[in-house]
Amino acid sequence: MAKLVLNPITGSLDVVEPTRATVQDAAPTTAKGKMWLDTDEPVPDIYLRNDGDTGVGVYNFGDGGSNYSQFESDGTLAFHGNATVWDDMRVTPAGFDKVGIADPALVSYTPAGSIATYLYEFQKDDIAYFTVQMPHNYKVGEDIYVHVHWTPGPNGNEENGNTVGWKIDYSWASINGTFSAMATADCSDACDGTDHKHQMTPEAQITGTGKGISSMLICNIKRTDTGDDDTWVGTASGSLPLLLEVDFHYPIDTVGSRDRSAK
């Protein structure tokens, strides 16, 4: 059936014909309280489901299967299956702690001969320290993935194919948990031969089993060679790899937590 819709631009009432999509009272299953927006596809593009028998329940928007966004009965929005999203938990070098021994040096960096700024360059065996807290939107118990952003600066051509042995030491504990012995994530990466290029290392997986929101990671960022994973040639200041940032990719299944201290 056609309907009248107010045109916000002209101020007139326009007659709008319905699209091919139709609203069905009965879903393809026998579950109660479902309303589906059907299309010509075998699987509906959008569905709205009330799982409660009393009219107060949860509402799902998705593919009709395991991939959907869900409004729970209290209005909380949660993501399931492929609706789960990812973000970076960022650690900028400005937040590093250093102890005065084997510290990375803060040096002037002039990208492609322009205005100067400052970045940290890492000699082999340089090390710095940082901590991070898992956000309240973290999908608890899931793995996270650490990687390093860096640049060869003006040395990309000279160091083409040579690797930088970026490593992240870490120990991860939930609130009231205990920190275990430090483990090491290998983020070694090869220079691809381009001066001043922003490179991102391969990711290293960190197991998140049993970890919750506000859990803490204590970490080191260092450059080491365990045999053949650091073949960078330059050793003088100005010929070293430059660090941009350390990031952790983590999955998100809610906008935040339902409580101040619990998911």
CATH number at residue 175: 2.60.120.260
Q: Is residue 57 part of a domain?
A: yes
> From CA 44, how far away is CA 64, in angstroms rounded?
7
Cβ-proximal residues to 178 (8 Å cutoff; 6+ apart), any chain: none
Asked whether residue 57 falls in the same domain as residue 104, the answer is: no
**pLDDT score for 23:** 45
**pLDDT score for 133:** 97
Q: Is residue 125 part of a domain?
A: yes
Residue after which a domain boundary falls, among 83, 110, 143: 83
Asked whether residue 120 falls in the same domain as residue 210, the answer is: yes
Residue after which a domain boundary falls, among 23, 56, 83: 83
Dihedral of CA atoms 183, 122, 190, 224 in degrees, nearest 10, equals: -40
Asked whether residue 75 falls in the same domain as residue 165, the answer is: no
> From CA 48, how far away is CA 27, in angstroms rounded?
10
Q: Is residue 259 part of a domain?
A: no
Rounded to two decimals, the pTM is 0.78
Of 248, 49, 30, give the one whose Cα is nearest residue 148. 248
Q: Is residue 240 part of a domain?
A: yes
**pLDDT score for 63:** 83
Asked whether residue 103 falls in the same domain as residue 201, the answer is: yes
Asked whether residue 191 falls in the same domain as residue 223, the answer is: yes
Q: Is residue 263 part of a domain?
A: no
Asked whether residue 64 falls in the same domain as residue 13, the answer is: yes
> From CA 100, how far away is CA 102, in angstroms rounded?
7
Asked whether residue 174 falls in the same domain as residue 235, the answer is: yes
| Domain span holding position 100 | 85-252
> From CA 7, how far away is CA 178, in angstroms rounded?
61
Residue after which a domain boundary falls, among 58, 83, 108: 83
Q: Is residue 10 part of a domain?
A: yes
Is residue 153 within 8 A of residue 196, CB to CB? The reply is yes
Asked whether residue 117 falls in the same domain as residue 230, the answer is: yes
Q: How does DSSP assign 75-113, residue by residue?
A: S-EEEEGGG-EEEEEEE-GGG-B--SSSPPEEEEE-GGG
Asked whether residue 76 falls in the same domain as residue 99, the answer is: no
Is residue 49 within 8 A of residue 31, CB to CB? The reply is yes
Q: Is residue 258 part of a domain?
A: no
Taking the CB of residue 129, how many other CB atoms lie within 10 A of it? 15
Asked whether residue 131 falls in the same domain as residue 100, the answer is: yes
Q: Is residue 128 part of a domain?
A: yes
**pLDDT score for 74:** 80
pLDDT along the chain (263 residues), means of 10: 55 55 44 48 50 58 86 85 91 90 96 92 97 96 98 97 98 97 98 98 98 97 95 98 98 91 86
**pLDDT score for 49:** 53
Asked whether residue 26 falls in the same domain as residue 92, the answer is: no
**pLDDT score for 223:** 98
Asked whether residue 46 falls in the same domain as residue 105, the answer is: no
> From CA 102, how far away is CA 128, in angstroms rounded?
8
Structural domains of the chain, count: 2
